[in-house]
Amino acid sequence: MKTIIKIVAIVGVVGLTIGYFAFFRLAESMQLKVVNKLVKTQYQVGEDIWIKPYLINMSKQSITVYGGETLLFAKIYDIDDKEILQLPLLPPILILTSHIFKPGIPYTKDYIFTLDKSGKYKIVVWAELSLDENLADPVRIYAKPIWIEVN
């Protein structure tokens, strides 16, 4: 009986420890915010559309994240929610990289693309990263979608 109690106690402590670290990682990831910036929302067919997503550490201390060389991604959808384009155009080279985010200093990536048909388009931007160096529990953090119009 004492052996069973010891095993249950050990399993309970290990479970609480794992839960604590998972909660800490989740809380840490909630301190990261993705914002998408556009110069304007009205474009002409064939005109360069420049988007500049930012990943910002909103906390008061540095956060280390892990991922590929590129952490920021974007997809462009038409009015019917059909995917038109994904950025970057080429799949990122999978080189494990650590990034240290200091409070308030953004990580950014510029994307320039054109659209060849008129219409309304939704731009969805997100960061893809992990707070674990083994890339366990990957996290996606989305910016608020932005709509543009192409005439």
Total residue count of the chain as it appears in this document? 151
Give the pLDDT band (50/70/90) at residue 16.
very low
What per-residue confidence (pLDDT) applies to 17? 39
Question: Would you say residue 121 lies in a domain?
Answer: yes
In this structure, the dihedral spanned by the alpha carbons of residues 132, 135, 141 and 146, taken in order and rounded to 10 degrees, is 150
Q: For residue 125, what is the domain's CATH number?
A: 2.60.40.2360
Token code pair at residue 52:
């500049």
What per-residue confidence (pLDDT) applies to 35? 93
What per-residue confidence (pLDDT) applies to 113? 96
Reduce the secondary structure of the chain to three states and give it as a string: CHHHHHHHHHHHHHHHHHHHHHHHHHHHHCCEEEEEEECCCEECCCCCEEEEEEEEECCCCCEEEEECCCCEEEEEEECCCCEEEEECCCCCCCCCEEEEECCCCCEECCEEECCCCCEEEEEEEEEEEECCCCCCCCEEEECCCEEEEEC
Domain span at residue 92?
A: 31-150
Check pLDDT > 90 for residue 111.
yes
Question: Would you say residue 6 lies in a domain?
Answer: no
Question: Would you say residue 73 lies in a domain?
Answer: yes
Token code pair at residue 97:
């990289």
Query: Are the beta carbons of 23 and 30 closer than 8 angstroms?
Result: no
Number of domains in the chain: 1
Question: Would you say residue 2 lies in a domain?
Answer: no
Question: Would you say residue 66 lies in a domain?
Answer: yes
Question: Would you say residue 120 lies in a domain?
Answer: yes
pLDDT tens, residue by residue, 4-15: 444 444 444 444
Question: Would you say residue 7 lies in a domain?
Answer: no
Question: Would you say residue 13 lies in a domain?
Answer: no
Non-local CB neighbours of 92 within 8 Å, separated by 6+ positions? 68, 69, 70
